[in-house]
Amino acid sequence: MASILNQTQELQEASKVLGHVRCENFFIFPGENTLSDGLRGVLYFLGLAYCFIGLSAITARFFKSMENVVKHSRKVVAVDPITKAEVITYKKVWNFTIADISLLAFGTSFPQISLATIDAIRNIGERYAGGLGPGTLVGSAAFDLFPIHAVCVVVPKAGELKKISDLGVWLVELVWSFWAYIWLYIILEVWSPNVITLVEALLTVLQYGLLLVHAYAQDKRWPYLSLPMSRGDRPEEWVPEEIDTSKDENDNDVHDVYSDAAQEAVESGSRNIVDIFSIHSANNNTGITYHTVADTPPDSATKKGKAKNSTVFGIWKHQFVDAITLETSESKKVDSIYLRIAKSFWQLLLAPWKLLFAFVPPCNIAHGWIAFICSLLFISGVAFVVTRLTDLISCVTGINPYVIAFTALAGGTSWPDLVASKIAAERQLTADSAIANITCSNSVNIYVGIGVPWLINTVYNYFAYREPLYIENAKGLSFSLLIFFATSVGCIVVLVLRRLIIGAELGGPRLWAWLTSAYFMMLWVVFVVLSSLKVSGII
């Protein structure tokens, strides 16, 4: 069965011959076809924007669950050889560098990854790959590199400097990010032009594993596998403490350091996104926390277990109450009646999404893993609706799907990246995670976001047809890669110059920060305009 994307392209081809062909596809009701194409286009665009609001809402819950996953520690019991006393230590399960590249980068890129995967599944059986996935991921890479850098560079206070403390890890991530797009160009234009083979798709996915190994080796300074660069002065606490997390009354085999923080965030409802970058705030650089643990009577432990269960259900109940609450305690403190009305209207827009996502279990259950998985499922569902709306917009307006992918889809699905990096630039004492999130997300976009969908299609085509996967408009995609590579070099050069002249990648004198931000936005406009003109056949 032909995919909706191919149907759209056939209608566009027919329109060139007949002058105008009405789009017969619909979203929910067949009666949509009675509306004019212009009105349908506006309605579908509004629906797409509303889906992006939903993606932001569920991504906030995803971040909360991810924080609990990363904060997961394991208990280690040892006996002091001198005092013979029992010493309890809690060691971090996750390495922070691996957490940045895997959970953080994967989480912020999951809207794009799920969209590309859904596009690939819809096209199973087709000899040509879908265009929404690759176009969105390349456009998302440009959005990550240029507009997000433009925001982060002006976020620090006037005169405040924030630099990368571990240049070695950042250089490894940067090299793998650049190589990802060079590799994509090679397999599209050099190795096997216009087609993707099973071997190429498999090698693309496997390189993500190599990135993880290399970054971990650099973090641990393994000989022969790491750059000979010393680690910069990293503060003991990368993020200023906002809450006291040292009060630990439970002596479980597995310890969630920040479960109280997650509960407080859910109960207050005042923070849309828990500061996921507080994964770097540790009391020491070893990732080990020492605790004095008293003996707990069995009946006391049972009471604590019951209290914990009641607390979990209370938090879950509060999620539903918060979803239908239009005026929060913060909005009631606002003096202006117009601002209060605006806030209430925004809460009204969010209410359907918040009510739907309230079914995601609280983040402190099973160290956040259940909420983590459920959030991914909801993100996939919203991404499916986004793909349907995008096809319909292309069908009724005649806009090339790649152009929509480069612009609307890339910006909408990259919103979590923007929010995450902005939080890091505001609250972290260094620029490591703000910039690492950008470079790592770009690598994940290629190795996972494009690699996995292409692997799905190439495996099917290999066994079904004994043929590779054909890439429609590969020339346009390759041209976009070249433009992205050229503009990204200009972006990185400016970051290096800022480090050499000002002393930091982010912040600094206000004038220079704003000039840098304007330059990054100009690079993004150049990429979008040239790429859109190429895929549309104008240049």
| Nearest CA among 419, 457, 477 for reference residue 116 | 457
Reported for 407-410, long-range contacts at CB under 8 A and 24+ positions apart, including other chains, are 407/139, 407/528, 407/532, 408/45, 408/48, 409/115, 409/132, 409/135, 409/136, 409/139, 409/140, 410/112, 410/135, 410/136, 410/138, 410/139, 410/140, 410/142, 410/143
CATH level 3 topology of 33-231+335-536: A middle domain of Talin 1 (1.20.1420)
What share of the chain has pLDDT > 90, as a percent?
9
Secondary structure (H, E, C), 234-291: CCCECCCCCCCCCCCCCCCCEEECCHHHHHHHHHHCCCCCCCHHHHHECCCCCCEEEE
Q: What is the mean pLDDT of residues 149-173?
A: 85
- pLDDT band, very low/low/confident/very high, at 21 (cuts 50, 70, 90): low
Q: Which residue ranges make up each domain of the chain?
A: 33-231+335-536
pLDDT digits 0-9 by tens, 423-440: 778 877 787 777 876 777
pLDDT digits 0-9 by tens, 445-481: 889 888 888 899 899 988 888 888 888 777 777 888 8
Place of tokens 């690598």: 443
Residue 249 has pLDDT above 70, yes or no: no
- Note the pLDDT of residue 442: 81
The one-letter amino acid code at 31 reads G
Q: What sign does the dihedral 333-337-338-342 (CA atoms) show?
A: positive
Residues near 494 by Cβ (< 8 Å), separated by ≥ 6? 516, 519, 520
- pLDDT band, very low/low/confident/very high, at 382 (cuts 50, 70, 90): confident
pTM score, whole prediction: 0.71
Q: What sign does the dihedral 101-102-106-108 (CA atoms) show?
A: negative
Q: What is the mean pLDDT of residues 475-503?
A: 88
| Nearest CA among 461, 523, 538 for reference residue 492 | 523
CA 361 to chain centre: 21
- CB-based contact 511:438 (threshold 8 Å): no
Give buried/exposed letters for 459-497 (b at 16+ CB in 10 A, else e): ebbbeeeeebbebbbbebbbbbbebbeebbeebeebbee
pLDDT digits 0-9 by tens, 250-303: 433 333 333 343 344 333 433 443 344 444 444 444 444 444 444 444 454 455
- Note the pLDDT of residue 330: 66
Residue 149 has pLDDT above 50, yes or no: yes
Q: Is 316 exposed, middle or buried (0-12, 13-18, 19+ CB in 10 A)?
A: middle
Least confident of 67-71, 121-125, 137-141, 235-239: 235-239
